[in-house]
């Protein structure tokens, strides 16, 4: 195996703590692009250079450069914004982006279609709303996920606060972001800059943290490099079980890459949380693969070192031994829709946002509707880890007004849609994602319709089957945790994966390779017929497929983890 550092390592090292040549790149008015090395650096500032792939061929024929633009992603730990911030983000989407807000699978907002000339103004506008985009992308700790609604119980709120503070704690300290985008002037005679936690080459790869509050696993906690599962004893937060080394990304045709569920390694008290998070992160910093980015995630580092050695490494760095795992039980992933009452009598409405895209479309003025809700709403908006939205902290009397706005703008999918449609996830894919091999977000509505038709033909229209679609094997919709998943391979062709559970504790497996829609629907039709005829009471589709040995089970986290 090569030990030569990957090119991105050299770019990071030469970047002078994430400055690169971005000033020059932004000033160059001859192109809508930035310099190639800067495309790696700008990610750390929360932005990706992209081009409109629908126009790529046409522009190539016209000998024009690709239609470059930038995607911008926010750092919003736990996905919370105020109504004022919502209105600011909405205005930015209209003024600078493609008139849509995209809610992501990591509780963040994405803007698409921002042109280079307006990138700085857009980032300034985002920061003016007291939201930033620092390390929303790049080889650092990313946006921290937390079970969507901290207002359901006091413990939810407490966990949310730990997650928010951990996100801050793991933020890079480089001033590059403030200097480049917010015109901060470097202090004359100041100490040379340093990154005490990350070092000048940051992490070998992205690093992701999630906090779950059982029985909800809406964050898919085992899909993350580092997962914390809240342990609630006598109604109080006792601490967290720690999971390490989860990850979804894989490459077609390369068996040395694979999705993996995290391994549970022990228990920490809230007071030990930061130390253990740092220990895991720095162990990955120092032992992760910096030669091959495909093998650089923590899951591969742990496979290389062995789980026991990795745990010892974490304990040595932390300076104490992890506690024994405590009992917990996760009952479901995905979101719960509609109104729910919180512990203090306030109300929370979870809306279904299809594939996370909020835009105005004929008969469904969602962007306008949510703007109008933001004008009258006094609580918060909370993004879920499944691309949906909670209108949170609503007084009993304000519910009617919100309901009316929801209904008049077609935002009431949670009342009308089948369980399949409510729970389906799709990544962005075409036209903006440079890595997409097939459609996902744009294909989701018609795919769901076709699967709904099949389900209805077998009397299964109310089966709450989890469907996830990704335009390539990187797994941004966490497809390997779908009971049914389509993973893009080529235009119109997908790998059909089957058999995950609905708790986020079992991965699915490959059932049909490189299939077109007709073949996929035919395969599902036969399986639905069998499921309708032979399923056990309340048996989930994924569990049925495993019981009937239609798919074999990869490693599964036990249903109940008992000490």
Stretch that binds ligand SRM, among 168-176, 236-244, 343-351, 476-484 (CB under 6 A): 476-484
Pairing mode, if any, of strands 226-233 and 236-244?
Answer: antiparallel
Instruction: Find the binder of ligand SRM among 15, 52, 110, 289 (CB under 6 A).
Output: 110
Enumerate residues 438-457 that contact ligand SF4 by CB under 6 A: 440
# residues near ligand SF4 by CB under 6 A: 13
Nearest distance from residue 42's CB to ligand SRM, in Å?
12
Nearest distance from residue 50's CB to ligand SRM, in Å?
6
Enumerate residues 460-499 that contact ligand SF4 by CB under 6 A: 470-472, 474-476
CA dist., res. 253 & res. 147, Å (int): 34
Enumerate residues 401-430 that contact ligand SRM by CB under 6 A: 427-428
Determine contact, residues 239/268, Cβ cutoff 8 Å.
yes
Enumerate residues 217-236 that contact ligand SRM by CB under 6 A: 223
Catalytic: 472? yes
For ligand SRM, which is the closer residue by CB, 206 or 326?
206
Nearest distance from residue 435's CB to ligand SF4, in Å?
4
Contacts of 275 (CB under 8 A, 6+ apart): 318, 319, 320
Catalytic: 137? no
Q: CB under 5 to 8 A by kind: which of ligand SF4, ligand SRM, none does 432 bind?
A: ligand SRM
Q: Give the helix/strand (H/E) hosting 497.
A: strand 493-498
3-state secondary structure 381-417: EEECCCCCEEEEEECHHHHHHHHHHHHHCCCCHHHHC
Catalytic: 206? yes
Catalytic: 14? no
Pairing mode, if any, of strands 328-329 and 263-268?
Answer: unpaired
Per-position DSSP letters for 249-302, written without gaps between them: ---TT-TT---B--EEEEEE-GGGHHHHHHHHHHHHHHHS-SS-GGG-SHHHHH
Catalytic: 208? yes
**Is residue 360 classed as helix, strand or coil in its secondary structure?**
strand
CA dist., res. 478 & res. 474, Å (int): 9
- Identify which of 464, 468, 423, 451 has the alpha carbon closest to the alpha carbon of residue 527: 451
Instruction: Find the binder of ligand SRM among 138, 245, 247, 369 (CB under 6 A).
Output: 247
For ligand SF4, which is the closer residue by CB, 244 or 440?
440
Write down the catalytic residue from 175, 205, 371, 433: 433
Helical residues (DSSP H) of 436-507, grouped into ranges: 444-457
Catalytic: 433? yes
Catalytic: 476? yes
The partner residues of 145 in beta bridges, in order of sequence, read 210
Binding site for ligand SF4 (CB under 6 A): 427-429, 433, 435-436, 440, 470-472, 474-476
| Active-site residue set | 73, 142, 206, 208, 427, 433, 472, 476
Binding site for ligand SRM (CB under 6 A): 48, 50, 71, 73, 104-106, 108, 110, 136, 142-143, 206, 208, 223, 247-249, 297, 356, 387, 427-428, 432-435, 474-478
């Amino acid at each position: 195996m090569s030990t030569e550092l990957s090119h991105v390592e050299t770019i990071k090292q030469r970047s002078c703590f994430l400055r690169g040549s971005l000033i020059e790149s932004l000033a160059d008015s001859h192109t809508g692009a930035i310099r190639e090395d800067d495309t790696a650096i700008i990610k750390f500032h929360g932005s990706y250079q992209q081009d409109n792939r629908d126009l790529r061929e046409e522009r190539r024929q016209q000998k024009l450069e690709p239609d470059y633009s930038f995607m911008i992603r926010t750092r919003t730990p736990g996905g919370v914004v105020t109504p004022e911030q919502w209105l600011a983000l909405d205005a930015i989407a209209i003024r600078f982006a493609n008139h849509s807000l995209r809610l992501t699978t990591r509780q963040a907002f994405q803007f698409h279609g921002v042109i280079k000339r307006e990138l700085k103004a857009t980032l300034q506008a985002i920061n003016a709303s007291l939201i930033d985009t620092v390390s929303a992308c790049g080889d650092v700790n990313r946006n921290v996920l937390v079970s969507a609604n901290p207002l359901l119980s006091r413990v939810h709120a407490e966990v949310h606060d730990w997650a928010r503070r951990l996100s801050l704690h793991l933020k890079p300290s480089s001033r590059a972001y403030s200097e480049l985008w917010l015109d901060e002037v470097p202090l004359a005679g100041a100490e040379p800059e340093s990154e005490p936690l990350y070092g000048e080459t940051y992490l070998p790869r992205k690093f992701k943290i999630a906090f779950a509050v059982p029985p909800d696993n809406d964050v898919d906690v085992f899909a993350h490099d580092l997962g914390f599962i809240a342990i609630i004893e006598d109604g109080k937060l006792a601490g967290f079980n720690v999971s390490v080394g989860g990850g979804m990304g894989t490459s077609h045709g390369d068996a040395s890459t694979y999705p993996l569920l995290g391994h549970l390694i022990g228990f920490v008290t809230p007071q030990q949380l930061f130390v253990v998070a740092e220990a895991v992160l720095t162990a990955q910093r120092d032992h992760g693969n910096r030669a091959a980015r495909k093998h650089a995630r923590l899951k591969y580092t742990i496979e290389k070192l062995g789980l026991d050695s990795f745990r010892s490494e974490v304990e040595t760095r932390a300076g104490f031994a992890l506690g024994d795992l405590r009992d917990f039980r996760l009952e479901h992933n995905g979101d719960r829709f509609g109104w729910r009452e919180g512990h203090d009598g306030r109300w929370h409405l979870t809306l279904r946002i299809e594939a996370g895209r909020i835009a105005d479309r004929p008969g469904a003025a969602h962007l306008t509707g949510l703007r109008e809700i933001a004008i009258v709403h006094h609580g918060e908006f909370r993004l879920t880890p499944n691309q949906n939205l909670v209108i949170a902290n609503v007084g009993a009397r304000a519910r009617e007004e919100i309901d009316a706005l929801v209904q008049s703008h077609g935002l009431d999918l949670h009342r009308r849609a089948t369980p399949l449609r409510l729970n389906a996830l799709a990544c962005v894919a075409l036209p903006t994602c440079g890595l997409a091999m097939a459609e996902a977000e744009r294909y989701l509505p018609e795919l769901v319709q076709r699967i709904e038709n099949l389900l209805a033909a077998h009397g299964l229209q109310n089966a709450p089957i989890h469907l996830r679609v990704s335009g390539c094997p990187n797994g941004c919709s966490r497809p390997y945790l779908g009971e049914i998943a389509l993973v893009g391979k080529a235009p119109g062709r997908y790998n059909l994966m089957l058999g995950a559970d609905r708790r986020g504790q079992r991965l699915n497996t490959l059932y049909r390779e490189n299939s077109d829609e007709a073949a996929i629907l035919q395969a599902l039709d036969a399986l639905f017929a069998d499921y309708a005829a032979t399923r056990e009471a309340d048996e989930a589709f994924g569990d049925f497929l495993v019981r009937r040995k239609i798919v074999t089970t990869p490693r599964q986290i036990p249903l109940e983890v008992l000490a």
